[in-house]
Amino acid sequence: EEQVMKVLWKNDMPMSATEIANEIESDWAKKSIQNIIRKLESKNAIEIAEITKSPSQSTEKTSTFFPSG
């Protein structure tokens, strides 16, 4: 959780789970990052900035997140 928050604070802009995973120097799976993001969201540590649909796949959505406060 701390590493995800550090990435969000450092970049100072909304980021997707994929972007966060790319910034963390680890071999964590994207799914692990998504689980951490859900935990942080439930603690109100981060907020959803935007939800967009992927142009190539009408059912796939991407969310971006930023620190609360």
The 10s digit of each residue's pLDDT in 24-40 is 877 777 788 889 999 99
| pLDDT for the residue 1 | 92
Low-confidence ranges of the chain (pLDDT < 50): none
Structure tokens at 17: 């789970």
Nearest of 15, 18, 21 to residue 66 by alpha carbon: 15
pTM: 0.76
C-beta of residue 65 within 8 angstroms of C-beta of residue 37: yes
